[in-house]
Amino acid sequence: MNTTPTTSLTVTGPLRDRYDEILSPEALAFVGELHDRFAGPRHDRLADRMKRRYELGNGRDLAFMPETASIREDAGWRVAGAGPGLEDRRIEITGPCDPKMTINALNSGANVWLADLEDATSPTWANIVEGQLSLFDAIRDQLEFTSPEGKNYRVTDPSRTPTIVMRPRGWHLVEKHIEHADRTGQQLAASASLVDFGLYAFHNAHELVRRGRGPYFYLPKIESHREARLWNEIFTFAEERLGLAHGTIRATVLIETFPAAFEMDEILYELRDHCAGLNAGRWDYVFSIIKNYRGRGQWFVLPDRDRILMTLPFMRAYTELLVQTCHRRKAHAIGGMSAFIPNRRSPEVTERALERVAADKRREATDGFDGSWVAHPDLIPVARAEFDRVLGERPNQLDRMRDDVHVTARELLDIRSAGGEVTLAGVRANISITVRYLEAWLRGIGAVALDNLMEDAATAEISRSQLWQWIHQDTVTAEGEQITRQLVERLLREVLADLPTPEGHKLAEAEDVFREVALQEVFPTFLTVPAYTRYLVERGPSAEAEREPSAERESVTA
């Protein structure tokens, strides 16, 4: 007798063509089970984050935890390591999961595609569900796309596509088009992490294994080993529920928060049965430094965004510690993003930028990284040449132990080594980047080419959080002008006056969000949280009030 699976979930978003294939009763039942078991622990981990931010704001410094010293000192344990198709990760391309970008990534020649439902995706209901459809079709070699101009896109050689590693949204985000009933019967917005992971794993895990790869994930915004433990519990449950062998799921953790840099060994340990490696998510890492230490005085004020380089001492300490930690545990160490977008109208600009990309990848390969990220296919040959020069025919350099590295907590915390010079041009640039990115994000575009760089939520977060910090720390520019709300408001008006206003633009809404995330007294922990709640929810007016009791809505003013 056939019965329809029951679920604690309710879909409130509109159902368009083929959405029922992703939002099937069976898939929703599985995602509902994830919520029944793990929604409560998720809230506990978010509460932990809020507590830590409060302590840091009141003078506590991050440190390596004495209570987990035995894990760090035990040289005997190792992680599961690369799954099938992940042995060679020297070049990874990142991007959103719309059909065109999916096909471009699969045709790029990269070793790995980070299929991004997080920072490179504006989480409209359409982008999330149709992104899952793109992945579903791509995995089965049935994805095609025809542009409005009539150009047809398809994967040219399915046998040579990159291994897909999907990045779900972070723990702090919700999916307000799906609700789940808690134990009291109250309807709450679903966890975006559990929705993204659950739908992808349910539909694709067995097909990926059948094709010789596996269900692989990038885990974003993790701040502690307890958050990693929660993911490990989710993976174990999912494998049991879906009939997969233990350890089939593999995860690469982004070390893109400041607290996580002090718990890399512990994060690997908690995920050891499912872990493939760590990634140096450098732009979110910079944002996290500002967020956690924004009220701690001039020692923690960073200079203009374009002066925050990977060669700075505190950034070198972070990346070298990551390589050493990974290789000691036989985990891949994946380097950071090169976000330059080639400018065919300016060969000189492109040539200089490609030289910088090459130098960046040369440093990473020489330091021992096993691979690195690029945002554009044209950067792949440049990046590959640098890694090929170091790796040769080897798939990785896990045998490079970096015993010469001895990083202390003080070195990770040495933000002062960056210098603190801020210019009016840097202030104006941060305003322009934040407003233009928000405008595109509100139109449903999460990866935006601005000034020859691919901007995503992480880089926009640096720009707006620097503005907030500069204002609240009474920072004075190199030109001698104090950065105040009034100064930023004046420059904001000038920036807005210079921007084009094509039909359908969202500049007014972007300006509104900008003021909320950069100019208010309270610092929103993520700019996407208020922007999503106010503008991206396709529901009636009764849903405008936030009903998700997430600790991430609160923040501590220093």
Instruction: List active site positions.
Output: 167, 456
Q: Are 258 and 210 in contact (CB under 8 A)?
A: no
> Which segments of 420-546 does DSSP mark as H helices, in order?
424-442, 457-472, 485-498, 507-514, 528-535
Residue by residue, DSSP assigns 282-331 as: HHHHHHHHHHHHTTS-GGG----GGG--TTSHHHHHHHHHHHHHHHHTT-
Query: Two tokens at 208?
Result: 């990926």
Segments of 17-80 assigned E as strands: none
Q: How far apart are CA 306 and CA 432, in angstroms?
A: 14
Type of residue at 92 = E
Region at 461 (left for phi over 0; alpha for psi -120 to 50; beta for the rest): alpha
Contact 168/127 with Cβ under 8 angstroms?
Answer: no
Give the residue from 190, 290, 292, 209 showing the smallest Cα distance to 248.
209
Question: Is the CB of residue 354 less than 8 Å from the CB of residue 386?
Answer: no
Q: SS3 of 250, please?
A: strand
Take residue 340 and report the two structure tokens written for it.
């330059």
Q: How far apart are CA 374 and CA 352, in angstroms?
A: 17
β-strands 9-11, 174-181 pairing: antiparallel
Neighbours of 221 (CB within 10 A): 24
Contact 155, 138 (CB under 8 A): yes
Helix (H) or strand (E) holding 367: helix 347-367
